[in-house]
A and B are shown apart, each in its own frame.
Chain A
Amino acid sequence: AQSVTQLGSHVSVSEGALVLLRCNYSSSVPPYLFWYVQYPNQGLQLLLKYTTGATLVKGINGFEAEFKKSETSFHLTKPSAHMSDAAEYFCAVGLSGNEKLTFGTGTRLTIIP
C-alpha cells in the first residue's frame, strides 16, 4: 500500500521569496511521484513527475522537486514566488503495476504582495 503526507495545509510566502512545499511518501516498492496544482474551481494540472532516472525533476512554471529515497521525500520548490502561484498543491504517489494514484490532502499556497 502507498500513502503520502503533505506537511502544512497552509503555506504563506512573500512575493519573490522561496517556495517550499513538503511531501513525504510511504511505499514498499520504488514509487512514481507527482505534484499537481489546482486553481479555484478548476481541475488539477500536472506540475511535474518522477518515474525513474534523474532525481531532480523540473516542471512547468519554474517549479522543481527532488526525489530523496533516503528521506522518502519529494518536496516541491520554486526559487521566487509569483502572485500567480497562489493555488492548492497536491502531492501524489503511484506504483508500477497498480493503476491507482493516491493523493495527499493538499497545501494551500498564499502569496503575500
Chain B
Amino acid sequence: EAEVAQSPRYKITEKSQAVAFWCDPISGHATLYWYRQILGQGPELLVQFQDESVVDDSQLPKDRFSAERLKGVDSTLKIQPAELGDSAMYLCASSSQTGVHHEQYFGPGTRLTVT
C-alpha cells in the first residue's frame, strides 16, 4: 500500500539553527499539506500545495518558515532560525484531488525538539 514518506523521523536542534523536513507524497497525489501538531493539540495547517503552487499559507510564519514543492512531487519545509516554540510534530499529508472532502493520507511525521 502506498504511503506518505517523511524524513527525518526525529530531529533535535539548537535554537537559532536551521532545520529542514522532507516529504514524499503518494505517487500521483497533486495536493500536499504540511501540518504542525503541538503536544496535546490537534494538527494545524501550515501550508497547502496544489501541484507546485501554494494554495494556502495563511498560517505559515513566513519570517522563519518556508516551504517549496518545486516539481510538484516531493516537498521541503524549512525553519530558519528555529525557536523553542517550534518544538512539535510536523506532519505531511497528501490527497489525490483538491477539496476538503477527499481523504488526506498522513505520513508518520517528524518530531522536532528545539533546545
B1-50 CB contacts (< 8 Å) to partner A:
4, 9, 40-45, 48
Which residues of the other chain, A, contact B44 by a CB distance below 8 angstroms? Answer: 103
Closest A-B pairs by Cβ, 7 of them:
A103-B42, A43-B106, A94-B100, A44-B106, A51-B101, A32-B101, A43-B108
Of chain B, the residue at the smallest CB distance from A106 is B42
A3 shortest CB reach to chain B, Å: 11
A sample of 6 inter-chain contacts (CB < 8 A) reads A9-B40, A90-B43, A96-B101, A99-B99, A101-B45, A105-B40
Q: Which residues of A contact B (CB under 8 A)?
A: 9, 32, 36, 41-46, 49, 51, 90, 92, 94-96, 98-101, 103-106
Which residues of the other chain, B, contact A100 by a CB distance below 8 angstroms? Answer: 45, 48, 56, 100
Which residues of the other chain, A, contact B42 by a CB distance below 8 angstroms? Answer: 90, 92, 103-106
Chain B, interface size category, equals 20 to 34
Contact partner of A41 (CB less than 8 A), chosen from B56, B99, B104, B108, is B108
Contact partner of B43 (CB less than 8 A), chosen from A41, A49, A103, is A103
Which residues of the other chain, A, contact B41 by a CB distance below 8 angstroms? Answer: 105-106
Which residues of the other chain, B, contact A103 by a CB distance below 8 angstroms? Answer: 42-44
The answer to whether B91 touches A98, judged by C-beta atoms less than 8 angstroms apart, is no
The answer to whether A95 touches B100, judged by C-beta atoms less than 8 angstroms apart, is yes
B17 shortest CB reach to chain A, Å: 23
A8 shortest CB reach to chain B, Å: 14
B93 contacts the other chain (CB 8 A): yes
- Among B41, B42, B45, max chain A CB count under 10 A is at B42
Which residues of the other chain, A, contact B4 by a CB distance below 8 angstroms? Answer: 43
B59-115 CB contacts (< 8 Å) to partner A:
91, 93, 98-101, 103-104, 106-109, 111
The answer to whether A46 touches B103, judged by C-beta atoms less than 8 angstroms apart, is yes
Which residues of the other chain, A, contact B109 by a CB distance below 8 angstroms? Answer: 41-43
